[in-house]
Amino acid sequence: MFDLIIKGGTLPDGTVADIGITGDRITAMGRLEGAEAGQVIDATGDLVSPPFVDPHFHLDATLSYGLPRINASGTLLEGIGLWGELKQIVTEEEMVARALEYCDWAASMGLLAIRSHVDTCDDSLKGVAAMLEVRDKVKGYIDLQLVAFPQDGFYRDPTARDNTLRALDMGVDVVGGIPHFERTMADGAASVRELCEIAAARGLRVDMHCDESDDPMSRHIETLAYEAQRLRLQGRVAGSHLTSMHSMDNYYVSKLLPLMAEAGVAAIPNPLINIMLQGRHDTFPKRRGLTRVKEMQAQGITVGWGQDCVRDPWYSLGTADMLDVAFMGLHVAQMSSPEEMRRCFDMVTIENARILGLTDYGLHVGAVASLVVLDAGDPIEAVRLRAARLAVVSKGRVIARNPRGDATLEIAGRPGMVRRRHPVA
Ligand SMILES: [Zn+2]
């Protein structure tokens, strides 16, 4: 007797299996013919995946688009300035309300684990308090991991260092940074060193905004890899964005990538936001704004797609859909072979789960019973369609049901249902 059975779904690897759930765990996989359950979801012909994971987000800023004004230049730097104005006037209650609304969007999209950077450059730390409250409020259905993020510079902002340490004392999970925003390259490198030492001393993970610029000489990822190696933080460090790598010298990159692999440093490109923000100082040719994704993967470096922003000072669109992120990443990184398209799906599920260090994630007996039923036949089709989430299960509970994405056609002479699903012949 199970609490819930997901019947007949196709797993991302193409096998067909029933999934038996008891409490908050998967307790059986395979053919569960005749088994009884409190609830059964028929997923025959549909893709059943472990939940989506977003390794890079800003929940303290989300859904604030237009407050107090929009980003006219569309640049990262104006966005930072705009957020600087907004964080003076926003209240803790408003931040909590917006973040919870976003978490509702995420839950409905099967996005059940989020790593969110929280700004630690406000002396009141109201954003940190707000996000800790949200982490607690959503813990029954979303795993929220918070990163202490000195947005205005760990050294450049006079109180950021103290405030970042206070945020970690308050229970923030991960150590962040923004070395390319410090006053000099030397200060940036020093910030990477000190922040990694703080993480090592506290047994925490590291995730830094790193080299988010079009400057080919911005090389903080080199320092981050060095410190990960020196402090034995392998597998616990991620560099977010790494956009400068698109313009680095090829010879230098041929040395850098093996060093990143050796240091176990993961990469988190954010294709929606960086195709929008980068290259704004270019005329033509105009750079694509994305780091070297396939080249890093070829070296064995873990790479996961992040969303970064939804309706905030940096990005005006977004729906909490990690398939949108995978879709954009697939295009900008030119990941067009079947293997590469398939990998883009993994990059918003299992690869991101690895970056967050999620335990008991996945579809296997003993794993936490969190999954999403998609209106698609396989992972590539899921990316192509940004497929409807037919059902979302979190920790054993069905938390969302969505309709199929089919349209009813009313053209004279040939009315009927339009199915956008199109299996490989
Ligand atoms: Zn970010």
Q: How far is the CA of 33 from the centre of ligand 1 (A)?
A: 47
- pLDDT, the chain, mean: 96
Q: What is the whole-number distance in angstroms between the Cα of residue 16 and the centre of ligand 1?
A: 38
Q: Judge whether residue 424 has pLDDT over 80.
A: no
* DSSP element (H, E) containing 38: strand 37-42
Q: How remote is the CA of residue 77 from the centroid of ligand 1, in Å?
A: 12
Q: What is the pLDDT of residue 58?
A: 97
pLDDT, one tens digit per residue, over 347-356 is 999 999 999 9
Compute how many other C-beta atoms are within 10 angstroms of the C-beta atom of residue 124.
10
Is 90 exceeded by the pLDDT of residue 397?
Answer: yes
Measured in Å, residue 93 CA sits from the centre of ligand 1 at 22
CA of 80 to the centre of ligand 1 (A): 11
Catalytic annotation, pick one of 212, 222, 351, 381: 212
CATH topology of domain 2-50+362-410: Urease, subunit C; domain 1 (2.30.40)
Ligand 1 center–CA 273 separation, angstroms = 9
Whether residue 285 is preceded by a cis peptide bond, meaning omega within 30 degrees of 0, is: yes
Contact 308, 272 (CB under 8 A): yes
What's the average model confidence in pLDDT over 74-88?
A: 91
410 in catalytic set: no
pLDDT of 425 above 80: no
What is the dotted CATH code of the domain comprising 52-356? 3.20.20.140
Structural domain boundaries in the chain? 2-50+362-410, 52-356
Determine contact, residues 50/370, Cβ cutoff 8 Å: yes
pLDDT of 411: 84
User: If you average pLDDT over residues 115-130, what whole number do you get?
Assistant: 97
Is the pTM higher than 0.95?
yes
> What is the per-residue pLDDT for 92?
97
Alpha carbon distance 21, 366 (integer Å): 10
What are 361-376's pLDDT values in tens digits? Answer: 999 999 999 999 999 9
Residue 265 near residue 192 (C-beta atoms within 8 A): no
Q: What is the pLDDT of residues 286-311, one digit of tens each?
A: 999 999 999 999 999 999 999 999 99
Q: How far is the CA of 107 from the centre of ligand 1 (A)?
A: 21
pLDDT higher than threshold 80 for residue 418: yes
Instruction: Give which of 215, 205, 272, 214 is closest to 239, Cα–Cα.
Output: 205
